[in-house]
Amino acid sequence: MPGEALIEVADLRRTFVVHERRGLLRRESRTVHAVDGVSFSIEAGEAVGYIGPNGAGKSTTIKMLTGILVPTSGRLRVAGVDPSARRRELALKIGVVFGQRTGLWWDLPLRDSFELLRRIYRVPLQTYERNLATFVALLKLEPLLGQPVRTLSLGQRMRGDIAAALLHDPAILYLDEPTIGLDVHSKQRLRAFLGELNTERGTTILLTTHDLVDIEKVCSRVMVIDRGRLVFDGGFDALHRVGGATRTVVVDLVDVADPVQVPGATVTRVEGTRQWLSLPADASTGPVVAALAARYAIADLSVTEPAIEDVLPLLYADP
Amino acid sequence: MGDALRGYRIIAGSWIRASLTYRASFVTLTLTSVLITFLDFAIILVMFSHLTAFGGFSLSSIAVIYGMSGFSLGMADLLLGNTELVGRRVRDGSLDSMLVRPVPTLVQLAADHFALRRMGRVVQAVGVLGWGVATAGIGWTPARVAVLAGALVTGSVIFCSIFVMGGAFQVFAGDASEVANAFTYGGNTLGQYPFTIYPADLVKALTFILPMAFINWYPALYVLGRPDPFGFPEWLQWASPVVTAGFVVVAGCSWRAAIRRYRSTGS
């Protein structure tokens, strides 16, 4: 359809019936709304982070977008097709990396896994060799190619998995918790690689993570899901300013003074000549700073954005 | 279909190459497999050192019956036997990875870890069957040749269908590979002997309810030129292709249903 985004999701729902044992013979079933009316669209070339607490519905959404799970209801189009109905056709256009398991063949050497994928995806030899050379260099896979996948460390395996997911030039790369369990250095390398992939190759990225730094470094847009519903969808910077969050202005006065009186901000702490002022994150700091400068002699001043870690819980309903 | 076969060939080929890297181990495993299945037939040989006929059938005739069933199960096991690992793949999440590749999931399950050493059972069955047909004094007609050849194909397809149904059940129920085994290996054990040793009700059940008698029993009766010992109509001896088609349809539908209802694991 012309004008349609690469990923179109409208009122997507998925329920699971969970059986619970109550006593020896009694069993109760309960319906869980894992994804409960989610709508969004992602344009080609975007890099989107998908976050939320455990069990919020992140993986369930990704599994529906890849065709693994059939939605209970709602409209879903990825690269113009309905994922679960045309799973194999879609497979040629997407790459999927699950952080907690491998898409490689456990007992085959990495090189054989890649070669097998080339033939399964019918990647032209030239494209394959060019991509392989690129990813082997960027992900430093050269010394690992001859090793069976089961002998690789978690970080090595993850790099192998990412290369494997990209050999067929997919338009979309899904990553489910790609940095989980990786050391700091591996995480940094992976983020740099994903950022480059998005900006230079234009690959659309959708990643779920618990690590906000992943999103800060890789994504320009964040979607937050809680209990199956989207509670935020916007730029990473805007996430700092969601409802209830506060910015802090730290001001060093020339002389010790009583708490300053400025409209739109309240003093939360005083320590010698230094004072902390709190103001709503969606308010502008300009007038506050101007008012301060007009009334007091200022030695130094700085503004701190609210930490995302502190903002996110404000989005989540109480458990 | 062409895509499926191509995918199977590519994946199985990879595993064959990988297994041939360790040639000595491959040869040992294959020989062991032939030896173990030979011992299986040896039990029947031992029995015949005390008897001249069993259930009204000579040793040569039993070799035909045994060989047809063994060949069918052997081929199915070689081609689709790995589908019994699907329960484990559901639990460890590797089925998810298969679902996002452009090759039918069933093909990937079957071809993954393809083990050529499973040829052992087929080789043994061909040996026993060959000896049986050579010594049973069969009056060969084109129709008998066709029924024998056809039964080897339809028997294999029936066992393949049972593997697929067992796999579908595992996706659905999480595990229970034993359920499928009861029908595959259990069915083969039943089918190794002339059905005349079983109660008539069991044979009726294996004809009309769970039609596994069409794997080898009815075609074997035709090939051996024997009237049906239970007095069932003769056309049953020709019905294997129709029954096989039924098995394929039921297996295909259960597999599709299982994948559509697949819930994946937690994360």
Complex-level ipTM: 0.83
pLDDT in tens, B16-68: 888 887 778 778 887 888 788 778 778 878 877 887 888 889 999 999 999 99
Whether B18 and chain A come into contact, CB under 8 Å, resolves to yes
CB contact at 8 A, A276 and A248:
yes
| Chain A residue with minimum CA distance to B108 | A120
pLDDT tens track of chain A, all 319 residues?
456 899 999 999 999 988 777 777 777 888 889 999 999 999 999 999 999 888 889 999 999 999 999 999 999 999 999 999 999 999 999 999 988 788 888 888 899 999 999 999 999 999 999 999 999 998 889 999 999 888 998 889 999 999 999 999 999 999 998 888 788 888 898 899 999 999 999 999 999 988 888 888 899 999 999 999 999 999 887 877 776 677 888 999 888 888 888 888 888 888 888 999 888 877 788 888 888 888 888 889 888 877 767 777 777 765 5
| Chain A residue with minimum CA distance to B8 | A120
Query: How far B24 CA lies from chain A's nearest CA (Å)?
Result: 18
Q: What is the pLDDT of residue A128?
A: 96
Q: How many CA atoms lie within 13 A of A15 on its CB side?
A: 11
Examine the pLDDT at B221 and tell me if it is beyond 80: yes
Eight-state DSSP code of residue A264: T
| Chain B residue with minimum CA distance to A68 | B99
Cβ–Cβ gap B93/A100 under 8 Å: yes
Alpha helices, H only, chain B: 2-20, 23-48, 59-80, 86-92, 94-99, 105-111, 119-135, 142-173, 177-191, 200-204, 217-224, 240-260
Cβ–Cβ gap A107/B113 under 8 Å: yes
Instruction: Dig out the tokens for A301 from the structure.
Output: 């001043």
Report chain A residues whose CB lies below 8 A from the CB of B267: 59, 100, 176-177
Q: What is the pLDDT of residue B251?
A: 97
What value does the mean pLDDT take over residues B240-260?
96
Inter-residue long-range contacts of A24-27, CB under 8 Å, 24+ positions, other chains counted: none
What residue ranges in A70-180 does DSSP mark as E strands?
73-78, 94-98, 172-176
Whether the full predicted model's pTM is greater than 0.80, yes or no, is yes
Whether B174 and chain A come into contact, CB under 8 Å, resolves to no
For testing the chain A interface, which of B99, B107, B256 should be mutated: the one with the most A CBs within 10 Å? B99
Query: How far A294 CA lies from chain B's nearest CA (Å)?
Result: 55
Cβ–Cβ gap B18/A108 under 8 Å: yes
CB contact at 8 A, B8 and B101:
no
Whether B97 and chain A come into contact, CB under 8 Å, resolves to yes
Query: How far B130 CA lies from chain A's nearest CA (Å)?
Result: 37
* CA pair distance A317, A294, nearest whole angstrom: 42
Cβ–Cβ gap A59/B267 under 8 Å: yes
Considering B167-176, B196-205, B242-251, the range whose residues carry the highest mean pLDDT is B242-251
DSSP three-state, residue A300: strand
Whether B173 and chain A come into contact, CB under 8 Å, resolves to no
> To the nearest whole percent, how much of chain B has pLDDT over 70?
98
Q: What is the pLDDT of residue B35?
A: 83
C-alpha pair distances (Å), A73 with each of A9, A58, A76, A80, B145: 11, 17, 9, 18, 54
| Chain A residue with minimum CA distance to B3 | A120
